[in-house]
A and B are shown apart, each in its own frame.
Chain A
Amino acid sequence: MVKRWKSVTAAGGRGRLTGGRGEPAMGSWGTPGLVAWVQGFPVVGQLVLLVVLGVMAQPLWGAPASPRGLRARDVRNDAGRALTLDWQLSPDDDVRLDPPRVAGYRLYRAEVTPEERPRFERIRDEQDLPPQVDEVVDEGLTPHQPYLYRLVAVDAEGRESAAAELDQPVRPEVWYFDRNKRWFLAITLLISAGILFFIRQARRGVELKIRKIAGLEAVDEAVGRATEMGRSMLFVPGIQDMNNIQTVAGITVLARIGRLTAEYDARIEVPTSRSLVMTTARETLESSYLAAGRPDAYHEDMSYYITDEQFGYVAYLTGYMVREKPAACFFLGAFFAESLILAETGNSIGAIQIAGTAEPAQLPFFVAACDYTLIGEEFFAASAYLSGEPEQLGTLKGQDVGKLLGGLLIAVGCLLFTYAHGADSPAAQRAVNYLRFQVLGTEDIPEEILEPGE
């Protein structure tokens, strides 16, 4: 494995051992008696003796050997708030040693300013940097501010080794564009351009062919059935808040169902698990009733709040279904473990059920227990489909551009991967990696699969 060190504005300096100011001493061994004894030997003998004594006495000093090669580099594609530091482990940081000589590492940081000398403060200790850890990301930094770092190994008694520190300060740089997302941006813009193109076409009166979606065709039938039976309808917008796009998609369908309900003079109830969803649902229903020319039929109690607690909400809904036996149940939003409980209860009371969610794990449960299920994109298409407005239908057609692009990328990826695997071609493998991590992903290519020199 070869690591790539991309240059940063302030180069991460190689580490060096210091025993200077402010650092813990390695142990006092220069007593006058000992010096006089050593001086009694010839020069070569003194040197040999010093080395032997040094090696023998090291365990007695207690402090472990220092880590080496402390390096710092800027974290790419961030807001200039983080630096990555790495180092070579202390020679005493050996898992085979029993008892271990190193209990961890302590990292010190100092801000470099022209006014005063750097003052190091401990930012990580042995709990954060246990033995065998050789990298850490220091976050929460000030952009462009130069920093110095100092790293020591520490033993179980808290004795610190000599420090490894940077030669030069290093500063976190601001990246004004996340380069790993350039392909993502390009694809997003392409799909958006496709959608906008078809919206424009629709506005010009070009007829767009949209396939029939059975689940949405059944909405009228469900409302009609509830009216004929004189029973209410239950609309469940999921268990997430309004910041979830699925909840927004569910509420847009509610607008259409609310209007039908007003026209047919049926009853609808919208219990919610979030207060904000309740207020939005009320606004939506009020507008729907107004649009249907029945503002007098609207009342606030159509939508009400139950609880944020997932299964508390489920308990209310299942209880309501069993007691009131609604003729139609709509489950349109973000659902999780409660999906099957709700759908099965609805099934047991014989209600016509239409469900839609973008949670792939919940779709099988809805398919098994509901009459109609809007799968993935159909759920998001519901609003446009039901409205029948040309410009909204144009957005559905625009998604086909994305599907075409997705299909092309899948085909290219399959061919490329097959070729790279069969021909054992490094160039093709590089292309596969680029497609996989850069075009389809938003991360750097992992260092483990980089070839030397890349």
Chain B
Amino acid sequence: MKRTIPIIIAAVAGLVMVVAFFVPPLIDWRETAEEWFNILAAVAMILGGASILAMHLRRISDQKRGWGFSLVTLIAFAITLSVGLFKVGVPPMAEYPDRPWTGEYITHGAPLWWIFQYLIVPITATMFSLLAFFVASAAFRAFRAKNAEAVLLLGTAFIVLLGRSYAGTLLTGWVPESYAALTLPGMTDTIMGVFNTAGQRAIMIGIALGIASTSLKILLGIDRSYLGNRH
């Protein structure tokens, strides 16, 4: 029963999604199924919060290496949660001045807004900006000309990098208009529009077929490994 009910739910929800795609009046059903998922995900957030607490409390109590970071995490978690949940510092709505909790929780200037604006956004931006260094290191490794394919890749990347920058126009700007396809931007357009697009589409067709196959396996209950192995 523990396995049958989830399989039935998955099959019914999946079938509703598929049928609603073709039958417009069933769109409401699809939206209802999506709302149910959102409700489930929201309830699961409680489990997520409990998981965070349990994990970090255990680290602190066991005095594991780096337990100080767990302490910082828990303090930040508690502050953000309480500030957001209790709408600390949020003024009430103009229509209900005597009801303190009626304001938007992320009101401009409120503590939660401040945490978001001045802590989360910069920290996130910092993580994202690291990507530039990783791109450089990955490109250095990928473009090493160790065999014929790597040389081809290097040459193509070189053309596209130059063609996508102003250097491409500058270097091949002297080429007559009738030979525009031989300029760096022209070659870049050909590489991206023909070879790259063809490759991308081949991958997309494979992905679409893979999704169809996986969906069918789940709808028919053939693949139950997401519920654990059957044996």
Contacts and interface: CB of A to CB of B under 8 A. Distances in A.
A418 interface: no
A287 B206 CA distance: 30
Nearest to A291: B229
Interface string B215-231: 11110001101111111
A306 B70 CA distance: 12
A311 B120 CA distance: 10
A275 interface: yes
Given A251-B226, A278-B51, A399-B209, A241 B22 contact: no
Contacts of A195: 212-213, 216
Interface centre among B58, B134, B230 (most CB of A within 10 A): B134
Nearest to A358: B207
Interface centre among A80, A178, A343 (most CB of B within 10 A): A178
A345 B137 CA distance: 10
Nearest to A243: B37
B226 A399 contact: no
Interface size class of A (residues with CB under 8 A): 35 or more
B44 interface: yes
B23 interface: yes
B51 A304 contact: yes
Contact of A255 (B135, B137, B218, B225): B225
A181 B22 contact: yes
A378 B22 CA distance: 28
Nearest to A348: B137
Interface centre among B65, B204, B214 (most CB of A within 10 A): B214
A344 B210 CA distance: 27
Nearest to B69: A319
A256 B213 contact: no
A211 to B, nearest CB: 13
Interface centre among A176, A284, A340, A380 (most CB of B within 10 A): A380
Contact of B223 (A252, A278, A312, A402): A252
Interface of A: 77-80, 174-178, 181, 184-185, 188, 191-192, 195-196, 199, 241-243, 245, 248-249, 251-252, 255-256, 259, 274-276, 278-280, 283-288, 290-291, 301, 304-306, 309-312, 314-315, 323, 337, 340-341, 343-345, 347, 358, 360, 363, 365, 367-369, 375-381, 383-384, 387, 391-392, 395-396, 398-399, 402-403, 406
